Amino acid sequence: MFNYSFKPAMEEKLRLFSKYGFEYIHWCDDWNNNVLYTEYDLEHYRQLIELAGLKCIDVHGAATDNIRIDAADEKWLKEYIRLLENRIRFCAEVGGDAVIIHPPEDEKRGDNDINLKMNRSLYVFEKVRRVCEDLGINIAVENCSKSDEDVLVFYFEKYPPEFVGFCFDSGHANILKSLDQLLKFGNRLRALHLHDNRGESDDHQPPFWGTVDWNKVTQWIKASGYKKPINFEITHNPKHFNGTMEEFLNYTVNQIQKLTILFD
């Protein structure tokens, strides 16, 4: 992603991704705002993706500080459901099969009762279940906090894999030292956010930049039966890379190619 540094137009981003050999994308735009895509937007973005020769495999759900899956205020909770349904329909329109969500997190927003927040979030799941089933879209829950293991067990005990799956984020697991606890969920793996950091901040850098155990990660993905293209959630940050978009893409692709050897 270049959304936080160079901020190119959508057409330019997609053209560059295609130029540097990527065939698939994970749609991550507008993940942290309340933009609702119109019917025109759905068709327009679908056409842009196709014109670039790319395919979208999954879509990041959207949320804000107030509009979130565990919002105590009914107004914000309803708005979150609207956003999630919007991204589910967008995902189906562009040919994806999963929408990634951030579950409730512990030790945040002054509400430390993770069980209360988890039960509150079930209302959202029930509201979107029908549209997910109708459109064939999976809700993939991302690992985001110290409670990840309990959170995933909570959802997976309640819902079948056709409806609720797992989005593995290698950077979050590295910061939280939770990789070993997450390996048990390979049978639910539906999406990937692969990126690197040094165990301190969520840097979203290319493989081998930091301390992620890529040997263990790749072996687990291979054993899980995951069949979709490998997805990277890498973000340009001028603090870590002082160069152009094309220079960053060239560096990133070289690092990814080193990693693909471990998948052979």
- Residue closest to 125 by CA, chosen among 172, 165, 97: 165
Instruction: Round to whole Å and give the CA distance between 130 and 88.
Output: 11
pLDDT at 111: 54
- Position of tokens 């293991």? 149
Q: Name the pTM for this structure.
A: 0.97
Query: Quick one: pLDDT at residue 115?
Result: 87
pLDDT of residue 128: 98
- Residues whose CB falls within 8 Å of the CB of residue 154, separated by 6 or more in sequence, listed in order: 118
- pLDDT tens per residue, range 6-60: 999 999 999 999 999 999 999 999 999 999 999 999 999 999 999 999 999 999 9
Q: How far apart are CA 184 and CA 201, in angstroms?
A: 25
List the domain boundaries for the chain: 10-192
The per-residue pLDDT for 113 is 84
| Tokens linked to 146 | 């110290």
* Neighbour count for residue 153 (Cβ, 10 Å): 12
Cβ partners under 8 Å of residue 248, min gap 6: 2, 236, 241
The pLDDT assigned to 36 comes to 98
Superfamily for the 10-192 domain: Divalent-metal-dependent TIM barrel enzymes (3.20.20.150)
Q: Which two tokens stand for residue 14?
A: 């997609």
pLDDT at 108: 55
At residue 78, the pLDDT reads 97
Q: What is the pLDDT of residue 45?
A: 98
Distance of alpha carbon 263 from alpha carbon 232, whole angstroms: 14
State residue 11's pLDDT score. Answer: 97
Give the Cα separation of 204 and 160 in Å (integer). Answer: 31
In which residue ranges of the chain is pLDDT below 70? 107-112
Give pLDDT, residue 38: 98
Q: How many residues does the chain have?
A: 264
pLDDT of residue 105: 86
Q: How far apart are CA 76 and CA 62, in angstroms?
A: 13
CA 122, CA 114: separation in Å to the nearest integer?
13
- Reduced DSSP (H G I as helix, E B as strand, rest coil) percent helix, strand, coil of the chain, to 5: 45, 15, 40
Specify the pLDDT at position 263: 94
- Measure Cα distances from 136 to 110, 139, 162 in Å: 36, 10, 8
Backbone φ/ψ region at 21: left (φ over 0), alpha (ψ -120 to 50), beta = left
- Residue owning tokens 């993939």: 140
